[in-house]
Amino acid sequence: MKREEARERAKALVDSMTAAEVVTQLRYNAPAIDRLGIPAYNWWGEALHGVARAGQATSFPQAIGMAASFDENLISEISGVIAEEGRAKYNAYSEAGDRDIYKGLTFWSPNVNIFRDPRWGRGQETYGEDPYLSAALGCAFVKGLQGDGEYMKAAACAKHFAVHSGPEAIRHSFNAEVSRKDLWETYLPAFETLVQEAGVEAVMGAYNRLYGEPCCGSTVLQEILRGQWGFEGHFVSDCWALKDFHENHHVTKTPEESAALAMNTGCDLNCGSTYLYLYDAWQQGLISEERIREAATRLFTTRFLLGLFDETEYDEIPYTVVECPEHLALADKAAEEAIVLLKNNGILPLRKEKIRTLGVVGPNANSREALVGNYHGTATRYITPLDGLLDYLGNDVRVLYSQGCDITQNRVEALAEENDRLSEASIVAQHSDAVVVVTGLNESLEGEEGDTGNSYASGDRLDLLLPASQRELLRVLAESGKPVILCVMSGSAMDVSFAEERFDAVLQVWYPGAEGGKALARILFGEVSPSGKLPVTFYHNEDPLPDFENYDMAGRTYRYLTAAPLYPFGYGLTYGDVQVKKAELKEDFTVKAICENTGKMKTRDVIQVYVDCEDSPYKPLHPRLCGFAGTVLEPGETREVLIHLDTKTCLVVDSDGNRVSGGDRITLYVGTGQPDPRTEELTGHKSVRIAVSKK
């Protein structure tokens, strides 16, 4: 259905309502209007990496893990599965008369905020620190979720608009102040792409203020969103953000004033309770009936686009598609592509025939919680790293297991128990030919404010270190004299300097989904090559980072980092050895790269293109990502890879936030990572340079 038709039907329906009825439809838990045949609808749905909080669902890697795949087609396929399972659930719940929270077709995903600081607990929900990567993967997610049928399969929502990435503890009162350059170069591009290229149906406002205005009541942001970008969908507040107007931001004095400010500046839908005061605000003359009806028209346009009042091609999707074998296979593939090999001295892949006993140690080795991250559904089965290795090895290799330590240890009275576990871990190592130690975090240690037990930082982290109990475990294993492979399960960059110096291999596993242990086992034993690339910079420690509350990009992310990283953005090893032998820029602005796998194993790798506008005073400090494509090569195979660059590649953002020419000296770098010294040191390869002709 075209938007024009849907809007016309929506307007006619809204015109038939009384003002009092209209107001009830502007909150997330909209009640039924029986006299007009309108059923109740709850707008609140979550789907970052699978249908969330609505019972059984296929569990994909957390968003930051999906980002490590650098695979737009995979992301689109995943979100298509999410939409299908969402439809299956909606069909079944609706038939049962259940229209409660998390059971609709409007999903408040994806999160395309920039992961500017690794201490941010919610960074795991994003696609990383780079605007181009976030835009590309976010666009793929939206297109897959919304589909291309006659009706929208499900409605996506770009969040949190805008300039929002912690700290969680002060998000309800924080005022973000950024330069116009940082605003338009870093914080807005992903939202712009999702609106203009993906046609995202909804945008969610952030909790914080920007330039003094609450983001859910901002004239500046609405002028950009609807005025400059032509957004036609609906705008929703973050949950209970509107009460912050009077309780925390103090830009209004009463709930009625807060409701009026949000409505008058373009917030159509309230997740929360402040719009319960809308009718009073209207009666007090703070808002017009015309504005209220326009908000409702936008919301019902979405419902008509979803076909909620019609018969659609999705009505017969059965509940049995949820966690079906095909969907679980896709989750497996996604977990494989998410895992990043950071170090390998040659110990990997392990060989069954050379290992009689394998030690599996660590607080996340057998943790279900560490598989899923936050905003997740419920899986039928959870396969931890320990489960995955036991299933994979069967009777061929003996496995010895020790938890080693608690995931975090703050209880003095538990030190004796902790020492017992460390002793057990040491004994396991002594009796093993090699040790796989699985450490990291979980959603109780990093995540959204109010959702974690990490109350001292409200879900953020104070530093990049593993908890003290885990650091002691790593010390004990390092002294064992046995080969040690570290697997880190977390949603963010950790300081793994100790492992880089002392261990034989390091893998970043992220939160890989409910069956992630299967993929990890296959990678450890070489059934498949790792191919993930880092969507965030890994630092030696947090010392080089600016203050967490400082939103300036200077000193942040790979584009403006001044210190050498531990592991760079875009970096990741494989069991093959893919090199870009030569590259050229064709007339249609497509990079043609000739790639060869000189290694001994089949592997997927990601060819990346970075641009440096060398003589522009407005360029980022380092070359920035402008294109990428995955490719699979057999040993000895040579393949041509085409990467189409967009029209913004040779533009830069000036100090006023305008896109301007990048100058006359523009260079492209084509390789399997960044064109920086640390990447070259770690991989032994240099990127191929292409001088862009100014024809």
C-alpha torsion sign, points 95, 98, 103, 104:
positive
Burial code of 643-655, b = ≥16 C-beta within 10 A, e = fewer? bebeeebbbbbbe
Helical (H) or strand (E) element with 591: strand 590-597
User: How many C-beta atoms surround the C-beta of residue 455 within 10 A?
Assistant: 10
CA distance 367 to 371: 7
User: Amino acid identity, residue 65?
Assistant: G
Q: At what angle do helices 325-338 and 516-524 cross, to 10 degrees?
A: 50
Given the residues 185, 238, 337, 418, select the one marked as catalytic.
238
| Side-chain half-sphere CA neighbours of 669 within 13 A | 21
Concerning whether 446 is annotated as a catalytic residue, the answer is yes
Concerning whether 223 is annotated as a catalytic residue, the answer is no
What is the DSSP code (8-state) at residue 319?
A: G
Cα 562 to chain centroid, rounded: 25
Q: Calculate the CA dihedral of residues 265, 268, 274, 275 and round it to 10 degrees.
A: 120
Residues 6+ apart with CB under 8 A from 418: 405, 406, 409, 469
Per residue, the 3-state secondary structure of 12-72, as one string, reads: HHHHCCCHHHHHHCCECEECCEHHHCECCEECCCECCCCCECCCECCCCCCHHHHHCCCCH
CA distance 261 to 255: 10
Helical (H) or strand (E) element with 517: helix 516-524
CA distance 49 to 64: 10
| Side-chain half-sphere CA neighbours of 308 within 13 A | 25
Kindly list the distances between the CA atom of residue 241 and the CA atoms of 107, 207, 238, in Å, as whole numbers in the listed order.
Answer: 18, 5, 5
User: Angle at CA 539, nearest 5°, toward 632 and 551?
Assistant: 105
The percent helix, strand, coil of the chain (3-state, each to 5) is 35, 20, 50
The answer to whether 581 and 594 are in contact (CB under 8 A) is yes
Q: At what angle do helices 415-430 and 468-478 cross, to 10 degrees?
A: 30
C-alpha torsion sign, points 330, 335, 341, 344:
negative
Q: At what angle do helices 516-524 and 385-393 cross, to 10 degrees?
A: 50
Catalytic residue set? 238, 446
